[in-house]
Amino acid sequence: MVPGTSGTVRDRLRGGLREAMKARDPAAVAALRSALAAIDNAEAVDGAQAPPPAVGHPYLAGTVAGLRGAEVERRSLAEAQVEGIVRAEVTARQAAARDYEDAGRHERAERLRGEAGVLLAYLGAAEPPAG
């Protein structure tokens, strides 16, 4: 399974997840789901942007009056930020693999290295980041 080069990193990761699920590749599915979740978490709403609670319902504390009064736009990440998140996921897996290797858990370390390799393929990086 080779990722395409068109589209955003997120689009390539989503397409790759579909393919990995069809291929029943658990390491790729885990890596891709984790990376997509990290991107979604980074886009989460900043709590400071939420409107302050107003006098809403007398029996429900902290309610906001008005239709859609509490809705706030999610953050929008630039492509470079998304790539940075995926690179951080790769780095975290490589560090964890070293730790597992040191602890004698070679199978787990190899799985994490495989997951890091999957994510690197979606970034188009030929060499893993130093670290």
Q: Where are the domains of the chain?
A: 9-46+78-123
Model pTM score: 0.74
Contacts by 12-19, CB closer than 8 A, 24 or more apart: 12/122, 13/39, 13/86, 13/122, 16/118, 16/122
Which CATH architecture best describes the domain 9-46+78-123?
Orthogonal Bundle (1.10)
d(CA 35, CA 57): 40
pLDDT at 49: 62
Overall average pLDDT of the 64-76 stretch: 66
Whether the per-residue pLDDT at 50 is higher than 50: the answer is yes
pLDDT at 58: 66
The percentage of residues in the chain with a pLDDT greater than 70, rounded to a whole number, is 70
Residues 103, 108, 110, 113: is their CA dihedral positive or negative? negative
pLDDT at 127: 43
